[in-house]
Each structure stands twice: as structure tokens, then as C-alpha cells.
Structure 1
Amino acid sequence: MGLAILLLTASVCLTASLPVEPQSWLSLVEQLLKKMVRMELNVEAMHKEMQQARDQVTSGLREVDNMKQTVGALQTYFTDNINKSDTVIAFNAHTIVNTSSTHGQVIVFSNPLYNIGSAYDSGAGIFTAPFTGVYLFSAHFCIGSANSWYYAFVVDSKQKIKGLHYNANTDCSTATTTVVLKHNERLWIECTVSNTNDIFLNDNKTYYRNTFSGALLHRVENYP
């Protein structure tokens, strides 16, 4: 508006000094003032648009920084997990040593098909965790007719999962569990109710086989 006032002042001066009808000059000044007002309004609108654009750019730069941090965190996460996934711990063993069972007896699967990482002791029937992590264990039992079998997956003398198998006929069943084991914690399968009968069938390569298997799914750091 300062420029418009200056223009108005100059116009008044010109009106007083030039031999032209004052009414014509006033009309000209009015038109110029209107144009100046419109120009100032346009400048203000442009200023607002520029400010909005600058704010959008600033916001976009913040989002880019956040994306960079997220990508960096993901790269670190995947790199760590790829390194951890290179560690393979897995076993599968068959042939139960004692086909009858007593309360508290560890069921020993004495014949390993494989024992990657040597974490399973086939002489004692006990798995010892070489790393803190999430492990998957599975046991397949083939039971003779009219026999009952009570068992538990045990971690350092604490029963983690319990089960019961009974069938009037010869039958097989599978028990599976996931367990978080700390470094050097031990897991085994234990009989929870005595049975003097030969409850487990001897392995038959063609039709059935008692097995115990386990594998490390994922290593865990700083587990409480």
C-alpha cells in the first residue's frame, strides 16, 4: 500500500501542474490504485504459496530423514538375522533304548539320523542348547495296543508340556512344542507315569518309527 500512496501523491501533484481535466486524472489515479491493490494482493498470495511450498519441502526433507533412519534400522535388523540364521542346530534320532517306562525316566532315542551342531546327546537322550533362542521339538511315539503312555517335555527338571497317549489298538501319535531355551539349558522327554509293559513298538523301517527331533528356529539376544 505504500507504493499506492506514493503514486496517489505523485498523481495529485501532476493534476495540479498539468493542463488536464482534474476529473480525468482522478479517474486515471483510481484505475492505477485498483491495479496496485490487485498487484499487492497477488504478491501476498504468491508469498503465502511460497511459504506453503517451503513448509512442504521442509516436511518432505524430514520424511526423507525418517525414511533413511528406518531403512538403516531394517538393514541392521536383516543383517543381524542373516548372520544368526547361518547358525544351524538340528537333530533327529530314533530307536528307544528301553521300551518299558518308569516314572521320571528319560526316554533315550539312541540312533541319530543327523545331529548338526552336536547338541543332542544320544547316550543320555538330552538336548543342550548351544545358544539362547527359540527351539522347535517334536516326538513321534508308536504305542502297542491297550497301553497308555504319559510323558512330558522337561527343561532342567521343570515340565514344560505334558501329554497322554492311549489307544485300544496299535497307534502312533506326535507331540510338538516350541520352547525358549537359554544357553546351556537342557531339554528331554520324560515318563510321568510308570508302565512295566513294553509300551513302545520296536522300530519298523517300512511302517513306523519312534523319533525325537529338534531344531533352532531363531537365536535371541538379551533374553531375560
Structure 2
Amino acid sequence: MRFSMLFVFVIVVGIYSYNFSEAREPVCSKFAYEEQLLEKMIRTEIKVETMVNEIKKTEDNIISTLGDIKQTVADFTDMFADMRGNITDEMLKRGEEIKRREESFKTLFEETRKTLTSGIEAEKEKIIQLQGKLEQPPVAFYAHHLKDMLLDTTDEILIFEKTFTNEGTGYDTSTGLFTAPVGGLYQFVIHTCAYKGKHSYLGLVLEGNVIAADANYGDESYGCNNFGAIVRVKLGSKIWVKSHRQVLTASFNQSGYRFNTFSGLLVNN
């Protein structure tokens, strides 16, 4: 379309130029006039053809250049698309890595928190126990002075009527029974002195079970013996000393320097 319009324009310009030059040339014969006109038309056609070729070449160059530009734009578009895809993939990978590390940190933090909490609770419990032990009064007793000096009945409980020490008030001077105010490891010691020519059979009893025993003989003089035990006693358990065999000749010496005693001490709870 553009080429056709251009061709018409060139023809019109050529004819106009011819008429204008013809008006200035002197009038010749009809043959000369037609010859000159034909020659001018041929020259004009040649020029037009040359111009058309040049226009065609220019148009081809422009189309080629536009194609190159279009291809370049497409190449850049593809390149940017690839770059954007690569950047997006890398960002996703980075995001996943950050999320994984965050989850790992949360898990480690929670495990550490639980471990520390458990350790703190255990230490707190130990402190509470130690505090309880420190707050508990000491437990110890030292009783003396037998109420019955003969012990002529089996399983008779020895009652020591007086105490030098009764920390924790566990020993009862009216019954001869020690009731543990605190559970723990205790040491008990019994010291007795048989009268001259007399003897006795004694036992240390914990909740009805004899855990230590002694036989004391005073042949030609006064005989004194010690016996006892270290035993774990529960809170509220009772312990006492008894005569575990009937002896009609039993008798104890209770002078000022020969004490018959029953003592106990909380060693560890």
C-alpha cells in the first residue's frame, strides 16, 4: 500500500516536471517532441524504479532491524525469566533452610528447658528435704533408774523412770517405750549391772521382734554389760527393753555409780 502510493506520487511529480520543462523548451517538430517525451518518461521510470528499489531496501532493512530488536527483547525476556526463576528457587531454598533451623532451635530450646526445669525441681526437692531435716529437732534420749529390780516375769518391759536427756520427747518414763518421732537410722545402747550372785536375760525389741540380746551374770561380784544395735526405725515405731526369760534369781545393782541405762540416738534420717 505504501509502495503503490509512493509510485503514484513519483509519476505525478515526473509528469509535472516534464510539463513544466516542456513549457520552457522551444516548440519543435511533432516527431522531436514525442521523442523527447518518450526519452524523459524512460528516464523518469528509471529514476522511479531506482527510488522504489532504494525504498524497498530501506524497508527490508527496517523490517530486519525490527526483527532483530524483537528477538533481542525476547532473549532478554527469557533471560530475565530464567534469572527470576533461579532467584525464586534460591529464595525458597533459603526460606526452607531458615525454617528448618528455626524448628531445630525450637526443639533444642524446649529440650534444654525441660532438662533445666527437671534439674531445678530435683534440686528444689533436695533443698526442701534438707530444710526439713534442719528444721526437725534432734532426737536422743538417755534414761536410767529401773522401776523393778527383780524382773521375775517373762517379757516384762524394763521401765527406766528418769531421764537425763529426752530430745524429741520420744521416750516415755511411765511405759519404758521409745516411740520414734522421726524415721531414720538409730543407735540404741543398754547398760545393766547384775547384783552379786544374780543374773538376767535381756533383749532389745523393735515392734515385737528381738533385734539384740544379752545374758548378764554377777557371780562373786557385780557384773555390768553393754549391748545394743544400730537399726533403721520408721516414724511412729516403738522400741523397748524386756526380760525374755523368767529368772527367779534376777536382780540389778543400782548404786550411785552403777547405773542401769537405756539410751538412743538418731544418727541419720
Q: Which TM-score tier does this pair reach, normalised by the shorter chain?
A: 0.5 to 0.7
Aligned to 2:198: 147
Aligned to 1:51: none
Unaligned runs of 5+ in 1: 1-68, 220-224
Aligned to 1:84: 133
Aligned to 1:48: none
Structure 1 residue 113, shift from structure 2 partner: 1.1
Structure 1 residue 196, shift from structure 2 partner: 2.7
1:200 aligned to which of 225, 230, 252: 252
Distance in 1, matches of 2:177 and 2:196, equals: 28
Letter of the 2:186 partner, please give it. Answer: Y
User: Deviating runs (4+, > 3 A) in structure 1?
Assistant: 72-83
Aligned to 1:172: 224
Q: TM-score, normalised by structure 2?
A: 0.50
Aligned to 1:58: none
Aligned to 1:7: none
Letter of the 2:238 partner, please give it. Answer: R
Structure richer in helix, relative to its length: 2
Over the aligned positions, Cα root-mean-square deviation in angstroms equals 2.6
Structure 1 residue 77, shift from structure 2 partner: 5.3
Q: Secondary structure at the match of 2:156?
A: coil
Distance in 2, matches of 1:85 and 1:135, equals: 17
Structure 1 residue 78, shift from structure 2 partner: 7.7
Q: TM-score, normalised by structure 1?
A: 0.59
Mark the CA change 1:105 to 1:202 in structure 2 (over 3 Å): closer, same or farther: same
Instruction: Map Cα deviations across residues 41-97 of structure 1 (whole Å, 9 max, x no partner).
Output: xxxxxxxxxxxxxxxxxxxxxxxxxxxx7xx98997587446425530111111000
Q: Which has the larger radius of gyration?
A: 2
Aligned to 2:265: 215
Aligned to 1:161: 212
Structure 1 residue 131, shift from structure 2 partner: 1.9
Percentage of pairs with the same residue: 25
Mark the CA change 1:177 to 1:82 in structure 2 (over 3 Å): closer, same or farther: farther
Unaligned runs of 5+ in 2: 1-118
Higher relative contact order (CA 8 A, sep 6+): 1
Aligned to 1:105: 156
Contact 2:157-2:241 at 8 Å conserved across structures = yes
Mark the CA change 1:99 to 1:132 in structure 2 (over 3 Å): closer, same or farther: same
How many pairs does the alignment contain? Answer: 151
